[in-house]
Chain A
Amino acid sequence: MNFTAPLLLSLKLSAITMTLLLIAGIPLAYWLVFSRARWKFLAESVVALPIVLPPTVLGFYLLMIVGGNSVIGQWYESFFNKTLAFSFEGLVLGSFIYSLPFAVQPFQAAFASVDRRLLEASWTLGRSRPYTFFSVIMPLSRQGIITGCVLSFAHTLGEFGVVLMIGGNIPGVTKVASVAIYDEVQSLNYGSANMYSMILLSFSFAILAVVYFINRRFIRTI
């Protein structure tokens, strides 16, 4: 049970993060592609920050923002009667921000690659922008949507720095598989560190292989 708990926690965290990124990432990517706002490049830079930033920097500032001494942290504590830092919810927040570009950028690339004439054709056929989005943009972007989901899932599964900074190492609450590996190595338990590593490696490889396989099939059918 103790061995599987970090793995299950990792999977749960990845699944929740992926779902939230799917819900929030699609409208954000749509806005980034189709908005004419002049300061859009700033938003794009913020979204891409986690790619270049050391996870510890991100984790540190997140901890400052949601920690017990911050306004947000205190508000959260008074509302839910527990801290956001060092909790599973805090991990979800950290993972969401950390994996944001891995979901949004593939969504964005997919939306941008839809031929604009198809959207114009849809509008001149009397169809609204939301209808066009669900009937033209989404079906033609399914490859990018799947890629974004899987990448954000896999990326969350493998994150370490942010998780450790914001979540710490509380068994059953914030001790995910990547942290467990670090823990086992620190205690010189190379055997179980290897087991965790092997499982993460195989799992990551398997989902990436499945995605590339599915994408190839889509390419053939379109």
Chain B
Amino acid sequence: MLNICLQKTWKEFGLDVTFRIPRGKVTALFGHSGAGKSSILRIIAGLETADSGAISHGTEVWFDKEKGIHLPPQRRSVGFVFQDFALFPHLTVEKNVAYGVKEKANLKNLRELISLVGLAGYERYYPVQLSGGQKQRVALIRALAREPDLLLLDEPLSALDWETRRQLQEDLKSIINQFHVTTLYVTHDVTEVYKLADYVIALESGKIVKQGTPEDVFLGKKLSTRIQIVGKVVAIESDAIMAAVTVIHDDQYFKTLIDTEEIVRLKVKVGDDVVIGAKSSDVILFKVLTQS
């Protein structure tokens, strides 16, 4: 369990948050740009200092302003994945991943780690020779290679194109699950939160406005629906009574009919993130026929 309580004031912006990150879970720090998400991450990693407050991990105190404790980043067991990857351009994939590993015995596991993210054969490539998605995979396993207690991801997918993002969301989930590492994930993307996070902390102008499960935070209630699809609205065709809403989810389109009144009430427009839920208990299932 990571306990965080910190305050920091800049010229025109103040940060004042208190929260906990449960062990072994993925917590998303959600908010629009300028909400203070990245600053919180940097303060937890020790790259910046808070004006007051305390950060402790289990029994270990990383920061306590009153007691004058401020561990440098090197002494906090964190893995930090930067938005723009921050791979060392003069080192190969293998050497980038091995950079933080101090025990030579662990080095032999590196190749396994590299193949885990589908980069076997790329060991001797330099970052400049990799695609954005490959770079982010290297950045992720570089952070995990030294087996940190806490993984911090600063909008890790925002520099990537939509298609790569979607693929990496899946990969991230499976890798984080394999490592069982406590994770704090900064994002402004609702779909990403739904896909990856167990718990969300929503931030606005440096303050926590809501926290809970993605459903608690984004819908304000538990849905009793059987089917849920989280996606982005790409089209709304409506008449006076009904509206056809098309939502894209994992590059698949879902079109559904809903009361126009509901669309107006919720002020749903193209580009919004939405959850489509179906309460129907008589969902039809077809078996796909395969040729024999």
Q: A interface vs B, CB < 8 Å?
A: 115, 117-118, 120-128, 135-136, 139-140, 222
Interface size on B, residues (CB 8 A): 24
Determine whether the beta carbon of B146 is less than 8 Å from that of A123: no
Determine whether the beta carbon of B82 is less than 8 Å from that of A117: yes
Q: Is B194 part of the contact surface with A, judged by Cβ < 8 Å?
A: no
Q: Is B178 part of the contact surface with A, judged by Cβ < 8 Å?
A: no
Determine whether the beta carbon of A123 is less than 8 Å from that of B73: yes
Q: Find the A residue at minimum CB distance from B47.
A: A120
Whole-angstrom distance from the CB of A82 to the nearest CB of chain B?
47
Most buried by B among A118, A120, A122, A128: A120
Q: Is B63 part of the contact surface with A, judged by Cβ < 8 Å?
A: no
Q: Find the A residue at minimum CB distance from B139.
A: A121
Which B residues from 72 to 110 make CB contacts under 8 A with A?
A: 72-74, 76, 78-80, 82, 84, 86-90, 99-100, 102
Q: Which of A118, A120, A123, A124 interacts with B88 by CB under 8 Å?
A: A118
Which B residues from 123 to 148 make CB contacts under 8 A with A?
A: 128, 142-143, 146
Q: A120-B80, A121-B80, A122-B99 are in contact. Are A127 and B86 (CB under 8 A)?
A: no
Q: Which residues of A contact B114 (CB under 8 A)?
A: none
State the majority secondary structure of interface residues on A: helix
Given A125-B99, A128-B74, list of 12 further CB < 8 A pairs? Answer: A117-B82, A117-B86, A120-B45, A121-B80, A121-B82, A124-B45, A124-B78, A124-B80, A136-B88, A140-B90, A222-B89, A222-B128
Q: How far is the CA of A30 from the CA of B195 in the complex (A)?
A: 44
Q: A125-B142, A125-B146 are in contact. Are A120 and B99 (CB under 8 A)?
A: no
Q: Which residues of B contact A136 (CB under 8 A)?
A: 88
Whole-angstrom distance from the CB of B123 to the nearest CB of chain A?
18
Q: How far is the CA of A126 from the CA of B77 in the complex (A)?
A: 8
Determine whether the beta carbon of A121 is less than 8 Å from that of B89: no
Q: Which residues of A contact B102 (CB under 8 A)?
A: 126
Q: Which residues of A contact B128 (CB under 8 A)?
A: 222
Q: Which residues of B contact A127 (CB under 8 A)?
A: 74, 99-100
